[in-house]
């Protein structure tokens, strides 16, 4: 018997007995490994390059993110990058800051701060806290 699960919990003694008899394999590739593997077959180079730029700050990357972003881009959604960032960041404030960091029309940090405040209603201080979280994820 093969059981594939996204998450496993030992709920009771019967489950512990099953675990005792099983060979458990934990598959959790790094974001870099997922990206490298996707690069072997993925054809949307614009999406692939964008994900490469934000790769260090993503907590958990999935091959599905590539497909979804590519579908949005091919459907003509001009803001597909922002949609992708909302998929990969659980905190919408963090997704907004990441999007603003990758928005070429914004020339200065002040422009990004103003746009953040306008889009989210959060403060300048929140922008800088979120930016610091992004930076710490890159380390």
What pLDDT does 102 receive? 80
Domain that holds residue 124: 89-139
- Is 21 a member of any domain? no
The answer to whether 106 and 112 have CB atoms below 8 angstroms apart is yes
Q: Domain end: 42, 57, 80, which one?
A: 80
Could you report the per-residue pLDDT of 83-92, keeping only the tens digit for each? Answer: 998 899 888 8
What pLDDT does 8 receive? 80
- Is 117 a member of any domain? yes
Query: What sign results for the dihedral spanned by CA atoms 84, 5, 41, 32?
Result: positive
Where the chain has pLDDT below 50, the residues are 139
What pLDDT does 41 receive? 97
What pLDDT does 138 receive? 55
What pLDDT does 137 receive? 64
The pTM of this model reads 0.73
Number of structural domains found in the chain: 2
């Amino acid at each position: 018997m093969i059981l594939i699960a996204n998450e496993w919990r030992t709920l009771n003694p019967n489950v512990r007995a099953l675990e005792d008899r099983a060979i458990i394999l934990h598959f959790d590739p790094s974001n870099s490994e997922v990206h490298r593997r996707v690069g072997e077959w993925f054809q949307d180079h614009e999406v692939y390059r964008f994900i490469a730029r934000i790769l260090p700050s993503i907590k958990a990357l999935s091959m599905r993110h590539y497909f979804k972003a590519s579908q949005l881009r091919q459907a003509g959604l001009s803001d597909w990058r922002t949609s992708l960032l909302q998929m990969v960041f659980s905190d919408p404030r963090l997704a907004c800051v990441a999007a603003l960091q990758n928005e070429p029309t914004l020339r200065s940090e002040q422009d990004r701060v103003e746009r953040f405040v306008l889009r989210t209603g959060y403060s300048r201080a929140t922008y800088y806290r979120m930016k610091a979280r992004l930076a710490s994820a890159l380390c």
